[in-house]
Every structure is written in C-alpha cells, then in structure tokens.
Structure 1
Amino acid sequence: MTGDPEIRTVLGDIDPAELGVTNAHDHLFFASALLPGQELDDPAAAAAALSRFREAGGTALVQWTPHGLGRRMCELARISRETGVHLVGATGLHRAEHYAPAALSRVADDLAGVFVEDLTGTTGPRAGLVKVAGAFHTIDSHARLTMTAAAVAHEETGAPIAVHLELGTAGLETVELLCGKLDVPPEKVILGHLNRNPDPAIQREIAETGVFLGFDGPSRANHATDWRLFDGLEALVEAGHGGQLLLGGDTTTAAARHQPGAAYLLTTLAPRLTKQLGGDVVTAMLVANPARAFATSWLK
C-alpha cells in the first residue's frame, strides 16, 4: 500500500516538510579497516557533533553508513531523540574493500532481502535509504551485485538509492545501470562525491539524466578539489539544475569530526555559497531538494 511521500527517519516516518535544513551526506558512526585508528564509534562524540550542527541551524542529517560498517542505528535513534535533529540511516553495502570476505559471504545469498529487512523490519530503527558504491572509473562485479540488489529493494519498498562514486567517477555508468538497465527512476537516485571529480561537462551530462547530485564536501580527504566546488555548483545552477543539488559534509574520520566537522556545512560553506549563488538557491539545496530526494511513498 502506498500513501503520501514520507521520509523514513530512525524515529519513524515524517512529512518531508518537517525535514528542514539538511546535511544530505554525513557520518556520525563509521568504522572500516581501510581507515584504522580513525573510527567514528564514540556515541558521546557523535552527540556532540550533532549538537554543534543543530546549534548552527541544522535540523536533519542523513548518515550514509551502510550495513556492516558500524552504523549503530539504535545509537542514532537515541541521539536523534536527545538532540531533536532528524536522522536518516542507511542500509546497503560499500565497496568490497571495506569488508572482510567472511562478512560479505554472510549476506551475499540474499542481499536484496537484507536491504529490505533493514528498510521495513519491525525490530529496531529502520533505514531510510540504500547506499551502494561504484569502483574507480568503472562498475566492477561487486558494484553490479550491490546495485542490482539495491534496485530490487527499491522496487519492493520505494526507497531512494544513494551511490558513493569512488573519487567522483563512473557517474554516467552508474546511471546507465540503475536507471537504464534496472529501471530505477532517476529521481530516486542520488550520486555522491561529484565534487571529487570536478569535470563540468560530465557533471552537466549527469544532471541532464534527472538524478540528484551530491556535493559532499569539503572534508579533509577532498582538499585538492574543494576550491572548484563553488564554480561547479554555479555552472549547474545556471544550466537549470539547481533543483537537483544536495550538500553534505561527509565526515568519515575522527580527525575530520573536529576539523572541519558537520557544522562547517552551515557555519562556513553555506554563507560562502550564498554570496556567490544567492540565499534562495542555497536554501533550496539545504531544504527543498533533500525533502524531495529522500522522500518516497513506502511500499512496505
């Protein structure tokens, strides 16, 4: 049964109009063997980071940490309740390199089923999106497997699909697979890390497909391309794609939590963008666009 579009937060479904000022891609909890010693696994630190974001004017944060990487959904629910900030959690799988082979084998036989259970289950907080990942400049066999499972989960639930593009690459290939071959509507697909591959022609071509484009920086990992974020966004707005743009912080390490941190999106990045693009445009990126990108008429 379907109804009006809603956003599935860790505390339950809400009207998209309630979401407000949104960090559309970040992490309060994240732990990967690829980032030893930089785990985001401290609930008190997560709550403090979320409080700073709230004090800066934020009302919602979307955590893209997928299945098996320490997403801590129950802790998300607790700190959402304590801080009053809406939190959206994720299911899905990251690149294979983030997992031990045994961990992948445990879910490989029914990947779509795992995703659907996370999205619709009756025990514990539910995820509100499926996060998957491409490989560097290609869709490898693992990405094809996870994206196919994500498409099945979308078909069964209506959930939006968020995609980590490795260093911002393979965006068109991802759209071709998800929207072309797997029939996921473009407006249900969010491509992340477009700022990491600041090719204006590619960004424009991706935008013309109708998907949402995530510019999730700056962060400590992306400083080489951060300075091109502003001109890239301006070009897309001038081309008529302002309604497809999302902004996030993408804090994936303990070091980045403190410098710049999730609040940087609102304390520093948004004011700079406002001077260049205008307040209405930036407000749309932070409020109206995420309210559409993460909303769906849930099927289960």
Structure 2
Amino acid sequence: MSTPPTGLAGTVRTVLGDIRPEDLGVCDAHDHLFFKSPQLPGQELRDAFAARAELAAFRAQGGGGVVQWTPYGLGRRAADLPPLTRDTGVHVVAATGLHQAAHYTPESLTELRGRLAEVFVSELTTGIGTSGVRAGLIKVAGGFHALDAHARWTMTAAAEAHHATGAPIAVHLELSTGALDVLDLLCGELGVPPHRVILGHLNRSPDFVVQRVAAEAGAYLAFDGPSRAHHATDWRMPDAVRALADAGFGRRLLLGGDTTTAAARSVDGGPGMPYLLRRVRPRLEVALGKELVDRILTENAGRAFAVEWR
C-alpha cells in the first residue's frame, strides 16, 4: 500500500497564481465552466455570463474552489477564467491534458504527435496559449473497461509531464471502468506516485472491491456528478463512500459536480455546481458525519491538488 503525505504541503496552482492548499476552501474537485465537444453538439459551455452566474451560485452555497477538468482543445477559454475568479471570489484551477480520441478530429491529434508531453509541460509552467494562465493539473481519459492506444499515448505523455513538473494527473474513467488498468499503467509502468493520481467518476459504478483496491494503492477517488437514471450515483454513492471511510480511506475521497452541458447548469434549470453543496453534502453528512464531509471537501482537495512544483 502506498501512503500519501499527511500534511498540506506544496501549493495549488490556480488561474491567478499559486495558493496554499488550506486557502482553496470548500472545493468542487471536478467540474467545468467551459467545455465543447463534437460528442455533445448544441450543449456547449461557452457563455461567460452563465459561467459567472454558476460560480456565484456555488459561492452562495459556501463554495471556495472549483477544479475545471476541461483539457486541451475542448474550449477551455483560459483567458476568461481569471476575471471569473476575481468577480466571484471562487478559486479556479485549470487543466491541461487530452480527452478520449472521439472528442477531437484526426487532424488535430496528428498535429500533437511527438510533442504531447511538451504541450502539457508548457501549459503547466508557461501558460495556456497566450492567456498566461497556467494549468494546475493534467486530465486524461481511459476507455470502457480498457485502455486503447490513444489512452496509452496520452497517459504516457501525462506521466512525462508529471515527472517534469510534479502536477497531479486526473483521469476520466469511462462509466467508472478501468481504474486498475489505469493504475497499472500510470503507477506500475510509468512511475507516477499513486497519490498524484485522481480517479474520476467512481460514483458511476458501485464496485466496492475495485474502489477499495484503488484506495489501497494510494490513489484519490473522486465521486463526481449528480445522479442519472442509468447510473448508480446519488442513491448508492453514500454507501460506497461510507464503506471506504469505514475501511480507513476517508483521506483519499473527493467530491465534484462535473457539469458538462448547458442544460445541466443551475442557471438553466439543472443541478449545476450548487447541487454538490445543496443536496449531496447534507446527504453524505447523514452517512458519514459533518466532520468527515468537511474534510473531504477541504483538506482532501487541498492535498490532492497541492504540488511541490518543479
């Protein structure tokens, strides 16, 4: 079993600069202010006014920080992020990285061949495009119960960028599958410390065995996104989180909202970012107690995204 550092060492790289982990506040560990993909036509998150309203609504519920997992090429609008955090008082962390191949044109991926790790490192250390905004994490993605060649390429580049910078790697797990394959590749073959890996979407499958094995390995487990009818999320998620906490892995847990479409925003009638604190938080407090839920939203998030930057 890998044991992560116990303190809140390092700094969290926000769009306004590096901050102490304890200053991140109550954190939505996985969400999106801006996002566009050919997989979601007509549902792009590209309205800066709506993004500001969403952040303000999250702030009104006690939120202090949001980690945007939108990676390279999917409409991050990095230059718009600093004004949003200044206007709302919510810290924002931006991402570099690459999603599944289906979210890109073949031509755009060809352009990145041979230089993907270099792009990641540049966006972590110099800035995203001409915005000057530095990313604070690397986002990559697995496939459904497998890692295809694209996933292995992107994760290899992510590992190289991690070794160069120390940045954490956040992983989209397709319908919560493939977690152990991801850890075998990133941590086993590529040498990334497990406590620098954040596994996303563990809420979408109630596989307690896989969740526990991943926690024992030392990774962070993110339960992120409100319920859909075909996902075992809200109604089973408290049991999964409680089982991990009872087994001694409360320090490895993260919570997020994962708003990926305009219709899902609270300002457009959806659950949006505030749902995490308005509905998920009190439900988990019943299962886990307020003290642990507070630590998951604050200390755990600060520890997961804090880095001794190289």
- Give the TM-score normalised by the residue count of structure 2: 0.93
8 A Cα contact 2:227 2:233, kept in partner: no
Q: Distance in 2 between matches of 1:221 and 1:13?
A: 39
8 A Cα contact 1:59 1:84, kept in partner: yes
Alignment match, 1:230: 238
* Structure 2: segments with no counterpart, 5+ residues: 1-8
TM-superposed CA distance for 1:187, in Å, is 0.7
TM-superposed CA distance for 1:103, in Å, is 1.2
Q: Structure 1 residue 70 and structure 2 residue 75: aligned?
A: yes
Q: Distance in 1 between matches of 2:240 and 2:263?
A: 27
Alignment match, 2:273: 262
Alignment match, 1:242: 250
The residue matched to 1:227 in structure 2 has which SS? coil
Q: Distance in 1 between matches of 2:29 and 2:16?
A: 17
8 A Cα contact 1:93 1:132, kept in partner: yes
Q: Distance in 1 between matches of 2:19 and 2:111?
A: 33
8 A Cα contact 1:171 1:191, kept in partner: yes
Q: Distance in 2 between matches of 1:98 and 1:90?
A: 16
Identical pairs, percent:
60
The one-letter amino acid paired with 1:71 is R
Q: Distance in 2 between matches of 1:26 and 1:235?
A: 25
The residue matched to 2:145 in structure 1 has which SS? coil
Please show how residues 37-52 of structure 1 align to structure 2 within 5 Å.
Answer: 37-52=42-57
- Structure 1 pair 133/221, CA: closer, same or farther in 2 (3 Å)? farther
The residue matched to 2:210 in structure 1 has which SS? helix
Candidates 118, 121, 131, aligned match of 1:116: 121
Candidates 6, 18, 21, aligned match of 2:23: 18
Candidates 85, 90, 93, aligned match of 1:85: 90
8 A Cα contact 2:203 2:232, kept in partner: no
Q: Structure 1 residue 55 and structure 2 residue 51: aligned?
A: no
Q: Structure 1 residue 99 and structure 2 residue 107: aligned?
A: no
- Structure 1 pair 196/45, CA: closer, same or farther in 2 (3 Å)? same
8 A Cα contact 1:219 1:249, kept in partner: no
Alignment match, 1:297: 308
Candidates 271, 295, 309, aligned match of 1:284: 295
Alignment match, 2:219: 211
1:187-246 Cα offsets, whole Å, 9 max, x none, are 100000001121111111111100000000215586554311111101000010000000
The residue matched to 1:183 in structure 2 has which SS? coil
The one-letter amino acid paired with 1:197 is S
Q: Structure 1 residue 143 and structure 2 residue 148: aligned?
A: no
The residue matched to 1:108 in structure 2 has which SS? coil
Q: Distance in 1 between matches of 2:278 and 2:168?
A: 28
1:58-113 Cα offsets, whole Å, 9 max, x none, are 00000000000001111111101111110000000000000011111111220000
**Moved beyond 6 Å, runs of 4+:** none
TM-superposed CA distance for 1:168, in Å, is 0.4
Q: Distance in 1 between matches of 2:17 and 2:301?
A: 17
* Structure 1: segments with no counterpart, 5+ residues: none
- Give the TM-score normalised by the residue count of structure 1: 0.96
Q: Structure 1 residue 188 and structure 2 residue 193: aligned?
A: no
Alignment match, 1:172: 180
8 A Cα contact 1:219 1:251, kept in partner: no
